[in-house]
């Protein structure tokens, strides 16, 4: 592990090179998928209403602001992406450059889920660009995967929190129906949660990432593996070895799904 770790550091200037010890995934057969649900509602109907706050009153105690979640159930991919781009359901729409729905193969077997768009993603409209994106691409290559081929990449939040602050609970709750619909459309074979925030959101628990790693969780009946966010790994190079272990667990889990019971 140390020699490979050192080679990667040398080649990328970051850390160990990601290499798959076993055969790459080309031999994993394509999976027949259910056809996408028919897009029923027109895009304009899918666009959520603007943020609605509880009306202030001098006589009645004012409850905390509530956000009205979008309702993307039943949307197909074009309608879903359009609904995300047009969404104004939470205050993040005021500070974003654009919403970032996701990128990749819409028949993907692998779904990678991060936290929220950063500054580069906000400008380019694609998740995981910049240095963290390059590292994620290297991580994918290490297990025989490639962005856009059997892989879809998305974030829990579709709009950038200003200043890259942590997402607020209300924002996450408001945006979650979009991710749920993405999972419904993809029906991925495996989900990889990138970072504590994505893991906690998908699993609905406030556990540490250390306690969530190394296990096969479930999200709506789909196996889910937890690993570190690439942006974190850029700042904490020694943990790349742990991330490699997580990816190996993901590959092992994915292969086990192909084996006859
Ligand atoms: S973060 Fe999600 S809920 Fe909030 S405006 Fe963007 S797409 Fe809509």
Q: pTM for the whole thing?
A: 0.78
Q: Ligand 1 centre and the CA of 242: distance in Å?
A: 32
Is 25 or 161 the better-scoring residue by pLDDT?
Answer: 161
The Cα–Cα gap between 10 and 57 comes to 63
Query: How far is residue 259's CA from residue 244's CA, in Å, rounded to a whole number?
Result: 23
Please state the length of the chain: 261
Residues lining ligand 1, judged by CB closer than 6 Å? 84, 87-90, 92-93, 99, 157-159, 171, 174-175
Q: Which residue is listed with tokens 């856009």?
A: 148
Separation between Cα atoms, residue 182 and residue 177, nearest integer Å = 9
| Contact between residue 142 and residue 152 where contact means Cβ atoms under 8 Å apart | no
Query: 29 C-alpha to center of ligand 1: Å?
Result: 36
Residues facing 222 on adjacent strands? 219
DSSP 239: G
Centre of ligand 1 to C-alpha 5, Å, is 39
Look at ligand 1, atom 1, and give the residue with the nearest C-alpha. Answer: 159
pLDDT digits 0-9 by tens, 106-132: 999 999 999 999 999 999 999 999 999
Q: What is the pLDDT of residues 56-94, one digit of tens each?
A: 444 555 544 567 888 999 999 999 999 999 999 999 999
Atom of ligand 1 nearest to the CA of 90: 4
CA of 157 to the centre of ligand 1 (A): 7
Q: What pLDDT, on a 0 to 100 scale, did the predictor assign at position 243?
A: 97
- Find residue 154's DSSP bridge partners: 113
Q: Determine the pLDDT at residue 259.
A: 77
**CA atoms of 98 and 87, how far apart (whole Å):** 10
């Amino acid at each position: 592990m140390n020699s490979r770790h050192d080679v990667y550091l040398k080649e990328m200037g970051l850390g160990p090179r990601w290499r798959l010890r076993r055969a790459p995934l080309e031999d994993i057969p394509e999976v027949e998928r259910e056809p996408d649900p028919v897009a029923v509602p027109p895009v304009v109907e899918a666009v959520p209403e603007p943020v609605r706050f509880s009306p202030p009153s001098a006589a009645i105690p004012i409850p905390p602001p509530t956000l009205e979640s979008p309702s993307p159930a039943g949307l197909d991919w074009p309608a879903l992406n359009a609904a995300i781009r047009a969404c104004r359901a939470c205050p993040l729409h005021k500070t974003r450059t654009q919403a970032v729905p996701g990128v990749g193969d819409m028949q993907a077997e692998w779904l990678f889920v991060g936290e929220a768009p950063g500054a580069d993603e906000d400008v380019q409209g694609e998740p995981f660009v910049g240095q963290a994106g390059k590292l994620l691409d290297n991580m994918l290559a290490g297990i025989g995967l490639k962005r856009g081929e059997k892989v879809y990449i998305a974030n829990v939040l579709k709009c950038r929190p200003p200043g890259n602050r942590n997402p607020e609970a209300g924002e996450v709750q408001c945006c979650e129906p979009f991710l749920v619909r993405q999972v419904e459309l993809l029906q991925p074979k495996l989900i990889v949660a990138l970072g504590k925030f994505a893991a906690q959101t998908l699993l609905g628990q406030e556990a540490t990432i250390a306690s969530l790693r190394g296990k096969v969780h479930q999200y709506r009946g789909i196996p889910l593996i937890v690993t570190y966010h690439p942006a974190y790994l850029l700042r904490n190079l020694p943990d790349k070895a742990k991330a490699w272990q997580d990816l190996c667990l993901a590959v092992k889990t994915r292969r086990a799904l192909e084996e006859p019971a």
